[in-house]
A and B are shown apart, each in its own frame.
Chain A
Amino acid sequence: NAGVTQTPKFRVLKTGQSMTLLCAQDMNHEYMYWYRQDPGMGLRLIHYSVGEGTTAKGEVPDGYNVSRLKKQNFLLGLESAAPSQTSVYFCASSFSGTNTDTQYFGPGTRLTVL
């Protein structure tokens, strides 16, 4: 049981390049989330999904797009990367979307934009 996995683990982009981060979970969770972690700021929610085929904006969605074509996968896209998007990106999933439920996190993707 792998839990939540993320690919790639590391990536370096040049300004203006695009890329997609993949998150996969094998726990049959309905809800999935993308966060970014920046020094001194904790984790902030970028986008989330409440089920297959749905996506919604979190608190810092600008510059990112997401898709949830399959229940187990949640993709985060950067269409035109900017240095401000240098960060560590975490995917999380939970069985339900209530505040009683625990979110389980992937190992993170460290992205550097030059």
Chain B
Amino acid sequence: AQKVTQAQTEISVVEKEDVTLDCVYETRDTTYYLFWYKQPPSGELVFLIRRNSFDEQNEISGRYSWNFQKSTSSFNFTITASQVVDSAVYFCALSGSILTGGGNKLTFGTGTQLKVEL
């Protein structure tokens, strides 16, 4: 069975601090994809990144960076110089289970609430 663990329920930081959100996953699949989604206070789910299991290169997009380490089954997300607008719930998700007849089941973690204060 697949599982995604986000052990940090809530993190509070002061603006401009760096913050890392942890994600640990379990899967027996050899090919899989990992995702991060952002859920701001308005409630929608915003796609941030997708990473496949064969690519362990770190990725950077502006203030966001992701560290994928297959050896520890982790896909951590770092926000550099955090801003108040980064306040949101962040979900890590794992794909790989193809549903009966097709379709891709995403397994989500329980999310990390990030609060960035002035």
Which residues in A have some Cβ–Cβ distance to B below 8 Å? Answer: 31, 33, 40-45, 48-50, 54, 56, 58-59, 88, 90, 92, 94, 97-108, 110
Q: Are A100 and B109 in contact (CB under 8 A)?
A: no
Q: Quick one: closest B residue to A100, CB to CB?
A: B33
Question: Does B108 touch A at the CB level, under 8 Å?
Answer: yes
Q: Are A42 and B110 in contact (CB under 8 A)?
A: yes
Count CB-based A-B contacts (< 8 Å): 77
Query: Interface size bucket, B side?
Result: 20 to 34
Q: Quick one: closest B residue to A90, CB to CB?
A: B45
Q: Are B105 and A102 in contact (CB under 8 A)?
A: no
Which residues in B have some Cβ–Cβ distance to A below 8 Å? Answer: 4, 29, 31-33, 35, 37, 42-47, 50, 52, 91, 93, 95-106, 108-111
Q: Quick one: closest B residue to A49, CB to CB?
A: B103
CA A102 to CA B46, docked complex, whole Å: 11
Q: Quick one: closest B residue to A50, CB to CB?
A: B102
Q: Are A42 and B104 in contact (CB under 8 A)?
A: no
Q: Are B104 and A94 in contact (CB under 8 A)?
A: yes
